[in-house]
Amino acid sequence: MSTRRCCALVTRFADPRVAESVELLATHLRARGVAAVALADEASRLGALPVEFVTEAELAARASLIVAIGGDGTLLHAAGLVAGHDTPLLGINRGRLGFLTDVMPDDMLASVDAALDGECSVDTRALLAAEFTAPSGNSVRGLALNDVVVQKSQSGHLVDFETWIDDRFVNTHGGDGLIVASATGSTAYALSVGGPIVAPDLEVVVAPICPHTLSDRPIVVSARSTIEVRLIDRPDSLAEVACDGRSLGALLPGARLRIGPSSTRIRLLHPAGYDYYRLLRSKLNWGRRSFDGERD
């Protein structure tokens, strides 16, 4: 761990439970002699705590550890802040399922101490890189830890598009859109539309959203592949592109969206003994019946 001894606290929602955890952690860090920083837009809620408020650029540059307190959306937000840096992320679960924020509040202080002391396991996750080029030639780029989503812009209208993988035509789709999910994101939006669960070190899922043709099923492709989406020029054919829920803008007919592997990696930290499959059992209630107790 870096000798800078600076911990960044990332939160996103005005939840009393989040505020309670942030207060507890900030006080604990001060007692350990570790500086705590947070984004300037959190000052109105966290201003009474022993925390210095900084810009996004300063946060990524100064922190030797980032602690995301909230749900998986908070950790995705934090991942976007540190993309391109080597700063590790630790997620404290104050949300719901918590596939990425897997440290429970009761274990927060011990887990942060372990992270600061270099005693956590490191889990390196790949990002997806998205780029779409408008008919005018202007390009927009984004990175995603979980998924890149093409979704219809108007309720009650289908969006029609083609998919190509490594420059080979795959299919023409009609539906609500398409999810291209990393292995990390296979347990997020892609799972809710019927996509498979993919172990974090494996491949990429391409999953149609509410396809008009029932045979249009999710497929798993190489993480080294490039997926291209081309919107078909039809009346009311409007779509939006989002990376981890952050809008990149409108995908217009004639534009091409390309999604492929990024050289950027994110380092997630887990407490000693972390087991991905145990996490799945816990979050998805596998192997339990109504009269069963907790099973490891």
Question: 10 Å Cβ neighbour count for 68?
Answer: 29
Name the more confident of 14 and 188: 188
Strand positions, DSSP E, 134-231 = 139-144, 147-152, 159-165, 168-175, 177-181, 204-209, 219-221, 227-231
In a domain, 291, yes or no: no
Of residues 137 and 246, the one with the higher pLDDT is: 246
Q: Confidence class of residue 144 from pLDDT cuts 50, 70 and 90?
A: very high
Q: Token match 């009474």: residue? A: 48
Residue 120's pLDDT is: 95
- 261-294 pLDDT, tens digit per residue, is 999 999 999 998 899 999 999 888 888 765 455 5
Would you state the pLDDT for residue 149? Answer: 97
Q: Is residue 294 part of a domain?
A: no
* Closest-CA residue to 68 (of 86, 94, 96, 32): 94
Chain segment 60-91, per-residue pLDDT in tens: 889 999 999 999 999 999 999 988 888 999 99
Q: Is residue 1 part of a domain?
A: no
Q: Which residues pair with 162 in a beta bridge?
A: 172, 230
Task: Tell me the Cα Rg of the chain.
Answer: 20
Same domain for 95 and 176: no
Same domain, 107 and 196: no
Q: Is residue 290 part of a domain?
A: no
Residue 265 pLDDT: 92
- Looking at residue 294, what is its pLDDT? 53
Residue type, 74: T
State the average pLDDT over residues 90-96. 90
pTM of the model: 0.89
116 and 185 both lie in a single domain: no
Position 83 in a domain: yes
Active site residue 106: no
Examine the domain organization and report whether 172 and 93 are in the same domain. Answer: no
What is the pLDDT averaged over residues 113-135? 92
Does 296 reside within a domain? no
Distance, in Å, from the CA atom of 206 to the CA atom of 150, rounded to the nearest integer, reads 11
**254 and 180 housed in the same domain:** yes
- Percent pLDDT > 90 in the chain is 66
How many independent structural domains does the chain possess? 2
Binned at pLDDT 50, 70 and 90, residue 252 comes out as confident
Domain interval for residue 202? 127-263
Span of 69-78, 222-231, 238-247, 250-259 with lowest mean pLDDT: 250-259
Band (pLDDT 50/70/90 cuts) for residue 10 is very high
CA quadruple 39, 40, 42, 48: dihedral sign: positive
Selected catalytic residue, list 41, 72, 86, 176: 72
Q: Tell me what pLDDT residue 296 has.
A: 52
- What pLDDT sits at residue 2? 42
CB atoms within 10 A of CB 121: 12
Q: The CATH number of the domain where 72 resides is what?
A: 3.40.50.10330
CATH number, domain of 250, equals: 2.60.200.30
Q: Is the predicted pLDDT of residue 1 greater than 50, yes or no? A: no
Long-range contacts, 47-54 (Cβ 8 Å, 24+):
49/22, 49/23, 50/26, 51/9, 51/26
Three-class DSSP category at 207: strand
